[in-house]
Structure formats: C-alpha cells, structure tokens
Amino acid sequence: MEFNKSKILEIVRKQLAIDMNCNIEDFVKDGIVFCEAKLNKGRRMFDRQFPFLEIVTMGKSIVVSADSDILTKVKPLLENKTREDIFVAPFVFGHSLYYIPDCNRIKKLPTPDGFNFYIKYGKEIYDLYKISGFENAIQYDINHPRPDVIVIYAMYDNEIVAMAGASADSNLMWQIGIDVLPRFRNKGLATSLVSNLAMIIMERGIIPYYGTASSNIASQSVAYRSGFMPTWMCSYKNTFDGTAPYDNDIKIIF
C-alpha cells in the first residue's frame, strides 16, 4: 500500500474512533465531543482503567470518552473549558504524545559504524525474552494481547545493546518501542532502528506509530529524527480508581 499524509491521518482517525467510540468526523470538528466508552471490535488492545476516562485531541476538537456514570459527572465540568484547561483537570494525570510517519522525511537509515543489525519476526522474538533491559521494545509475554511482531536489534561484539520492537496493537496500527543500553546512547542507534522498523511495517501496509510521555524530550527527539511527526495527544490515566501518584503523600491547604 502506498501511504501519504492524508491516507495515514484517515487511518489514525478511524482507529481512534473505534477506540473512543465516536465518529471519525469528530476529530476534525471544533469544540468538545462527549461519548460513552465501549469495548469495540478492532480497538487497540490496551488494558483499561475502571472506571474509564480518556481524553484525545488531534489538534482541533477534544474527544472525551468515559464510562456512562463518569461521563454524566465530568461533562458539566468540562463542556465550557478550553483545551488547555481540560487536559489539566484534577482527575487527569499524565499525557501521552503520539507520532506517525512524515512521508516527506521518513526513510531507511544506515547502521551506525561498529554495530550490526538483525531482525526477528513472530515466534523468533521469544528468544529475546531471555534478555532483560528492553521493556520498552518487547512485551516479555508470549500471550500478550498486543503481541510482538517484529524486532530489529543492534549488536556490539556479542552483546545486544539496542532493540526496536513493533507490537500489533490493532489490525490497522502497530506501535514501535525502543530501548538502548545507557552506555550506547547518543550514537544514532535509536534513530536508525526506529526508522528502519517503521519502513518495514509500512511495506506490509500497516501504519507504524510511536508514543512517548509529554515530559520525555529525549524520546520525542528520537521520534522527530526518525522521520515521525506529532499527530495526537491523550490523557494517560485518571484518578477515579484512587491511583493518583500523590493522593496519599501530600495535602496542600491554603
């Protein structure tokens, strides 16, 4: 399949609409869209908090998807707020940024000098589960609902020093994760591995995407240098299940 920016964005909007239980057109509207969450067929197979709330923007509208009892409570709180205020609501913590290939820039990059690249597919990847330290790249679980499908790894002498892995998050989109051992960072390994893996995925007619925390500047830099562009942002977690990181540690009273 030949990809261009318009085609990739169409597929991303389709996937997010399945995930959020909204309409594809909702992402190009202005304003706020509220929708009741459902576990739709074809969704990306992430674990969901209970109760569930997720907020997504692709730059125009803000789509709020939540379990019905939560939705009735948060809608009156959010419906007149700005995008910036919505994403700092007190029941939201953490934001994730997601990237898709920039078809004008992405390309296969050469292997940095002194390293060799190797590729494993499907069940071949299980051999890599014996090696710790690459939790962002591979799942370490043969029964994971988002299975590892392709891994490119770099070797220095007889040691694996970096891995980029693709998980089959859905039939439409595979997510890329990357890990480089600390002493081998800043040598171009992450950029080269991610870009080459992305090209292999696109050759299969699948959209590769890359996610990172909004605070992780180093990871965002890898995405950009690898030929990706920022495309959507979503809330990472909510506090309704009592898992807010500071609730039991600090109380500020004015």
C-alpha 198: how far from its chain's center?
Answer: 14
Give the pLDDT score at 246.
Answer: 73
**Based on the structure, what is the number of domains in the chain?**
2
Is a pLDDT exceeding 80 seen at residue 55? yes
Q: Which domain holds residue 25?
A: 5-100
Q: Give yes or no: residues 122 and 93 share one domain.
A: no
Average pLDDT, the chain: 95
Q: Which amino acid is located at 198 in the chain?
A: A
CATH for 163: 3.40.630.30
Say if 247 falls within a structural domain. no
Specify the pTM.
0.94
Distance CA 150, CA 140 (A): 13
Give the pLDDT score at 251.
Answer: 62
Phi, psi of 203 (to 5 degrees): -65, -20
Q: Give yes or no: residues 77 and 163 share one domain.
A: no
- Alpha-carbon Rg for the chain in angstroms: 19
